[in-house]
Amino acid sequence: DVKVTQSSRYLVKRTGEKVFLECVQDMDHENMFWYRQDPGLGLRLIYFSYDVKMKEKGDIPEGYSVSREKKERFSLILESASTNQTSMYLCASSSQSWEQYFGPGTRLTVT
């Protein structure tokens, strides 16, 4: 079974803090993705990576950066957290078979 894990289920941070969200997959997948999910808006792609050290912007990259130093690990960084970044963050991975495997999500609250 493919397993995608995320470092925290719930996180509370203060405005201006630097926030790290970690995602690890155990199936040697090439592609990894970070989404945020907000009510009524669905999943929106923040960044994705198709190989180690390779990354591309998604639809809403502003205020975020990513890092992929190892194939199994993809990190999302909020350089200076703001209240409008309060959301559910979902990580996913995929190989060439097209379907994406999601982690359980991190519910981030920025106060």
Partner 1 sequence: SQKIEQNSEALNIQEGKTATLTCNYTNYSPAYLQWYRQDPGRGPVFLLLIRENEKEKRKERLKVTFDTTLKQSLFHITASQPADSATYLCALGFSGGYNKLIFGAGTRLAVHP
* Residue numbers 43-62 binding partner 1 by CB under 8 A: 43-45, 48, 50, 56, 58
- Assess 12 for contact with partner 1 (CB under 8 A): no
- What is the spatial distance between Cα 44 and Cα 62, in angstroms, rounded to a whole number? 12
Beta bridge partners of residue 24, listed in sequence order: 5, 73
Structure tokens at 41: 């808006």
Helix (H, G, I), strand (E, B) or coil at 85: helix
What gap in Å lies between CA 81 and CA 99, rounded to an integer? 31
By the 8 A CB rule, do 32 and 49 touch? yes
State the DSSP H helix or E strand holding residue 76, giving kind and residue range, or none if neither.
strand 73-78
Return the range that interacts with partner 1 (CB under 8 A); candidates 11-19, 38-46, 69-77, 79-87: 38-46
Binding mask 72-101 for partner 1 (x = CB under 8 A): ------------------x-x-x-x-xxxx
Among 19, 25, 31, 108, binds partner 1 (CB under 8 A): 31
Q: Which of 19, 105, 108, 110 binds partner 1 (CB under 8 A)?
A: 105
Nearer to partner 1, 78 or 92 (CB): 92
Q: Which residues bind partner 1 (CB under 8 A)?
A: 4, 31, 33, 35, 40-45, 48, 50, 56, 58, 90, 92, 94, 96, 98-105
